[in-house]
Amino acid sequence: MILSFHYSTSQPINQSTNAMYFKVVTIFPQMFDSFWNHGIIRRALEDKKIFASAVNIRNYAEDRHQVTDDRPYGGGSGMVMKPEPLAAAIRDASQTLTGTKTVLLTPQGRVFNQKMAWELATSDGLILVCGRYEGVDERICHDLIDYEISIGDYVLTGGEPAAMIIIDAVTRLIPGALGGEDAAEKDSFSDDLLEHAHYTRPGNFEGQEVPEVLLSGHHQEIEKWRLESSVMRTLLKRPDLLLQNKNLNRQQRDILKKWRFEIEKILDSQ
Ligand code: 4GS
């Protein structure tokens, strides 16, 4: 089992390859043991497309009990992550990894999306800082954090699942990480459309048939069907994506016009 891809902490590692380096700063590094060991993340690690490890903030606590949290100034319930061990852990990580961006996972951050995944994928490495408890001491954010990112408007018990989501979304954008699979798959969301519907055998599942065109072997017709499926699913399920998309191409606009025409015919017949 890949327990983590440790790199020496005493000297900068060779980042001359195109590989991407992830370092997670957390009080629960073991949460990542399973994450590193499945599917595309595992293969990307094995193929050295990515390097990743999780470091325990506790190892940077100086006191005998290795405390990482403390009571909030001003009182109130809950605990706050102490700045010293967290700062030491982040500094150590950024000394090992040059050219990295440091990301704090927090509901206060910019809400993560595919465009941000592409942006992050251009950096040489990412240090992902996982908050726990009520949050981190504010002074950490000022000096040590480049980006604050939220994975969505809800509250987690810790930033770890958020860090996994960022690593997952960024890894699949790294050239070669998806293996033989097509780059087109990555493009599917970059043009802000949902994927077309997918089918596999059997041809009839509990009375539901696979669309006939997909069985026809007529590649051009299949492509047309997929494009239409993609545009119309987006219209029905996520119209907001179409509304914010300012670069619909000719084909995509024609599909919408065709259906507008069909809908107008129905209305005119009433
Ligand atoms: C998120 C989020 C989050 C906030 C961590 C309360 C524990 C928790 N992190 N996107 N303290 N949403 N973090 O909810 O990134």
Q: What is the pLDDT tens value at each position of the chain, 270 positions in all?
A: 565 544 433 344 555 567 999 999 999 999 999 999 999 999 999 999 999 999 999 999 999 999 999 999 999 999 999 999 999 999 999 998 888 999 999 999 999 999 999 999 999 999 999 999 999 999 999 989 999 999 999 999 999 999 999 999 999 999 999 987 656 465 656 679 999 999 999 999 999 999 999 999 999 999 999 999 999 999 999 999 999 999 999 999 999 999 999 999 999 999
CATH of domain 204-268: 1.10.1270.20
CA–CA dist 47, 16 (Å, integer):
16
Ligand 1 lining (C-beta closer than 6 Å)? 105-107, 131-132, 135, 150-152, 154-159, 162
Q: Given ligand 1 and candidates 57, 129, 156, which is best to mutate, with the most ligand atoms within 8 Å of its CB?
A: 156
- Backbone phi and psi for residue 145, each to the nearest 5 degrees, phi listed first: -115, 130
Report the top-level CATH class of 20-171: alpha beta
**CA 151 – ligand 1 centroid, Å:** 8
Residue corresponding to tokens 């595309």 = 40
CA–CA dist 220, 213 (Å, integer):
10
- Backbone phi and psi for residue 266, each to the nearest 5 degrees, phi listed first: -60, -45
Residue corresponding to tokens 């998309």 = 245
Q: Tell me what pLDDT residue 96 has.
A: 85
Q: Tell me what pLDDT residue 16 has.
A: 57
Tell me the whole-structure pTM to 2 decimals. 0.93
- Backbone phi and psi for residue 113, each to the nearest 5 degrees, phi listed first: -150, 180
CA–CA dist 201, 219 (Å, integer):
18
Domain segments of the chain as ranges: 20-171, 204-268
Q: Residue 25: CA atoms inside 13 Å, Cβ hemisphere, count?
A: 28
Identify which of 5, 2, 76 has the alpha carbon closest to the alpha carbon of residue 33: 2
Q: Tell me what pLDDT residue 7 has.
A: 46
| Atom 6 of ligand 1: nearest residue by CA position | 134
